[in-house]
């Protein structure tokens, strides 16, 4: 069997409730609530208050649009986005494209391992390199479920961790909710200097994740199989819309809650634009119990997201260069750079924010081909995206590229 092929025997879909078809989007949604999100959103709230709420609202809406298109591409074509690109690109272009995708994947791994290590430091006082190693080992165990094709079990584990993340990051906000007027004021698009653009780009990179765009088209195939007749495919697409809406609504709620928590309770306090400082401030403001729940949520975020990130990297490699290595081995290899950085004493929260900026620059490389393929009648047939969706998708790409160019210009000119 070729590295990027899958079984053509689909599971019985007609007799199943739409709720039983949910799951792939919840795995993809973990990418939207990883430790990079925590760092970017806490930094945004602690530094700028409610100024950048609009960035998260816009990014969350974009994520629903994008992830559905990725899942739709997989269900209609029976191939993942990386596999479709691997079939179409000449070898030099394919290798170059794979290299940038691997760079994005490396930035993702860095954020996830550092976040999990930070959580273990906050919970148990473990040195960051030791915590990073533990996160890597636990993620290997989790990946073993997927590697043995226990896809549903893997989904249940990830969804359970998503529930822990949600509780961990919403608790403080429930105790001390912000004023509605402050939140509404943050919906007006604006910036406050170069650094706010950098933070906004990191928020965008943390919310619309390139590796999740590549992965979702694979997740639906691993879950639902291939070779469906048109009526079953339409049923799966309907269930997928519900899956994406529910999963990304949860992820969007968590992201916005993190920013609002920092804006309401942490702004102006020294050190609160770092995760460690935010944890200490939360303990002071709400007590050690809430701080403990926050740290547990951060740990769940690191463990879940690092497993999903390794899964995505494996699918990218299989699709683009037609090579597949065991997930556990890949996790071991990609773990090493994060452990090195933790060992040399890099400032963890700022490293997380910068990793999200790298991800932001990788978004167009995933989005442009996704929109082109889902809008092609040759690829999608009668299920190609309609004119309205194609126009909105192009506007989304233009907005992301414009933000990245503005970030580059402001940084280089020092404005």
CATH number at residue 349: 1.20.1740.10
User: Considering the domain boundaries, does residue 5 fall inside one?
Assistant: no
Report how many helices (DSSP H) and strands (DSSP E) the chain contains, helices first.
Answer: 17, 0
User: Considering the domain boundaries, does residue 333 fall inside one?
Assistant: yes
Residue among 89, 147, 122, 77 nearest 315 (CA): 147
- Residue 3: pLDDT band with limits 50, 70, 90: very low
Q: What percent of the chain has pLDDT above 70? A: 92
Which value, to the nearest 10 degrees, does the dihedral of the CA atoms of residues 166, 172, 173, 175 take? 120
Distance (Å, rounded) from C-alpha 96 to C-alpha 83? 15
Paired tokens of 308 = 């999903």
The pLDDT tens digits for 304-317 are 888 888 888 888 99
**Region of poorest pLDDT, from 2-11, 165-174, 222-231, 357-366:** 2-11
Give the residue numbers spanning the domain of 307. 18-413
Four-residue CA torsion sign, 76, 77, 80, 85:
negative
3-state secondary structure of 383: helix
Question: pTM of the full predicted structure?
Answer: 0.88
The pLDDT tens digits for 242-283 are 999 999 999 999 999 999 999 998 887 777 778 888 899 889
Q: Which residue has the higher pLDDT, 34 or 187?
A: 187
Q: What is the pLDDT of residue 4?
A: 46
- Residue 2: pLDDT band with limits 50, 70, 90: very low
Q: What is the pLDDT of residue 1?
A: 37
User: Considering the domain boundaries, does residue 287 fall inside one?
Assistant: yes
User: Considering the domain boundaries, does residue 221 fall inside one?
Assistant: yes
User: Considering the domain boundaries, does residue 77 fall inside one?
Assistant: yes
Paired tokens of 261 = 């928590």
CB 161 within 8 A of CB 304: yes
What's the whole-number average pLDDT of the chain? Answer: 86
The pLDDT tens digits for 153-192 are 888 888 899 999 999 999 989 998 999 999 999 999 998 8
Report whether pLDDT(287) > 70. Answer: yes
Q: In angstroms, how far apart are the furthest CA atoms of the chain?
A: 60
Distance (Å, rounded) from C-alpha 83 to C-alpha 327? 18
User: Considering the domain boundaries, does residue 11 fall inside one?
Assistant: no
- Residue 16: pLDDT band with limits 50, 70, 90: low
Distance (Å, rounded) from C-alpha 226 to C-alpha 230? 12
Ramachandran region, residue 11 (left: φ > 0; alpha: ψ -120 to 50; beta: rest): beta
Paired tokens of 291 = 């701080």
What's the average model confidence in pLDDT over 40-57?
92
Q: What is the pLDDT of residue 129?
A: 93
**Region of poorest pLDDT, from 45-49, 176-180, 396-400:** 396-400
- Residue 70: pLDDT band with limits 50, 70, 90: very high
Q: Which residue has the higher pLDDT, 147 or 181?
A: 181
Residue among 357, 362, 360, 356 nearest 114 (CA): 356
User: Considering the domain boundaries, does residue 12 fall inside one?
Assistant: no
The total number of structural domains that make up the chain: 1
User: Considering the domain boundaries, does residue 292 fall inside one?
Assistant: yes
């Amino acid at each position: 069997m070729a590295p990027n092929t899958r079984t053509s025997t689909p599971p019985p879909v007609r007799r199943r409730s739409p709720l039983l078809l949910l799951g792939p989007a919840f795995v993809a949604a973990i990418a939207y609530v990883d430790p990079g999100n925590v760092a970017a959103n806490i930094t945004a709230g602690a530094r700028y208050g409610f100024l950048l709420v609009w960035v998260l609202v816009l990014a969350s809406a974009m994520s629903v649009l994008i992830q559905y298109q990725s899942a739709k591409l997989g269900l209609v074509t029976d191939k993942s986005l990386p596999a479709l690109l691997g079939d179409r690109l000449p070898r030099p272009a394919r290798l170059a494209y794979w290299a940038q995708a691997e760079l994005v994947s490396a930035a993702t791994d860095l954020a996830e391992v550092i976040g999990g290590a930070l959580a273990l430091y906050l919970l148990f006082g473990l040195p960051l390199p030791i915590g990073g190693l533990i996160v890597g080992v636990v993620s290997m165990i989790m990946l073993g479920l997927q590697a043995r094709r226990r896809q549903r079990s893997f989904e249940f584990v990830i969804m359970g961790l998503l529930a822990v993340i949600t509780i961990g990051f919403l608790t403080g906000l429930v105790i001390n909710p912000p004023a509605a007027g402050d939140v509404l004021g943050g919906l007006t698009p604006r910036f406050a200097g170069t650094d706010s653009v950098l933070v906004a780009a990191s928020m965008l990179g943390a919310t619309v994740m390139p590796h999740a765009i590549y992965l979702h088209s694979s997740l639906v195939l691993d879950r639902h199989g291939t070779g469906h007749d048109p009526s079953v495919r339409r049923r799966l697409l309907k269930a997928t819309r519900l899956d994406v809406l529910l999963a990304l609504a949860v992820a969007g709620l968590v992201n916005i809650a993190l920013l609002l928590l920092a804006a309401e309770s942490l702004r102006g306090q020294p050190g609160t634009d770092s995760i460690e400082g935010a944890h200490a401030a939360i303990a002071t403001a709400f007590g050690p119990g809430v701080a403990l729940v926050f740290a547990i949520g951060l740990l769940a975020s690191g463990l879940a997201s690092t497993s999903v990130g390794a899964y995505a990297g494996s699918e990218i490699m299989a699709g683009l260069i037609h090579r597949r290595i065991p997930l556990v081995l890949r996790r071991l290899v990609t773990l090493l750079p994060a452990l090195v950085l933790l060992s040399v004493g890099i400032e963890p929260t700022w490293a997380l924010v910068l990793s999200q900026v790298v991800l932001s620059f990788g978004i167009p490389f995933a989005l442009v081909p996704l929109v082109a393929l889902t809008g092609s009648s040759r690829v999608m047939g009668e299920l190609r995206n309609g004119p309205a969706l194609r126009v909105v998708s192009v506007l989304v790409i233009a907005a992301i590229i414009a933000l990245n160019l503005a970030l580059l210009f402001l940084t280089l000119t020092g404005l």
